[in-house]
Amino acid sequence: MGSANRAKSRRSSGSQKPPLSRDAVLSKALELVDAEGIDALTMRRLGQRLGCDPMSLYRYAESRAALLDGVAELVLDELSIQPGDPDWKVQLRLLAHDFRKLALQHPHVVPLLVTRPLSTPLGMRPLGTLRPLEQILSLLIAAGFEPSDALHVYRAYYGFLYGHILNELQEFIVDPEESEALLRLGLHRLPAKDFPRLRALAPALADYDGSEELDQGLTIRLTGLEAQLARRTG
Partner DNA sequence: CGGGTAAAGTCTACAGTGTAGATCGGGCGT
Partner DNA sequence: ACGCCCGATCTACACTGTAGACTTTACCCG
Residue 62 near residue 98 (C-beta atoms within 8 A): no
Per CB under 8 A, the segment of 50-58, 73-81, 92-100, 167-175 that binds a copy of itself is 167-175
Q: Cα 72 from chain centroid?
A: 7
Contact mark string toward a copy of itself, 77..116, x via CB under 8 A: ------------------------------x--xx--xx-
Find the angle CA(135)-CA(141)-CA(145) to the nearest 5 degrees.
140
- Cβ proximity to a copy of itself: between 51 and 111 the closer is 111
Which of 7, 130, 215, 226 is in the footprint of a copy of itself by CB under 8 A? Answer: 130
- Host H or E run for residue 195: none
Using the rule CB under 7 A, give the single segment among 37-45, 109-117, 141-149, 198-206 that binds DNA. 37-45
Q: Per rule CB under 7 A, is residue 45 in the interface with DNA?
A: yes
7 forms part of the interface with DNA (CB under 7 A): no
Among 35, 55, 201, 230, binds DNA (CB under 7 A): 55
The only residue of 20, 24, 43, 141 in contact with a copy of itself, by rule CB under 8 A: 141
CA distances from 107 to 31, 36, 116, 119, 202 (A): 12, 11, 15, 20, 23
* Least distance (Å) between residue 50 CB and DNA: 8
Tell me the site size for DNA, rule CB under 7 A.
20
Q: Minimum distance between the CB of residue 44 and a copy of itself, rounded to whole angstroms?
A: 19
Question: CB of residue 24 vs DNA: minimum separation in angstroms?
Answer: 9
**Collapsed DSSP state (helix, strand, coil) of residue 169:** helix
CB 126 within 8 A of CB 113: no
DSSP secondary structure of 93-160: HHHHHHHHHHHHH-GGGHHHHHHGGGGS-GGGS-HHHHHHHHHHHHHHHHHT--HHHHHHHHHHHHHH
d(CA 126, CA 66) in angstroms, rounded, equals 9
Q: Which of 90, 201, 211, 230 binds a copy of itself (CB under 8 A)?
A: 201
Could you say whether residue 150 binds a copy of itself (CB under 8 A)?
yes
Q: Should residue 155 be labelled a site residue for DNA when binding is judged by CB under 7 A?
A: no
Q: Decide if residue 166 touches a copy of itself (CB under 8 A).
A: yes
Strand ranges for the chain from DSSP E: none
127 binds, among a copy of itself, DNA, none (CB under 5 to 8 A by kind): a copy of itself
Query: How many residues are listed for the chain in this entry?
Result: 234
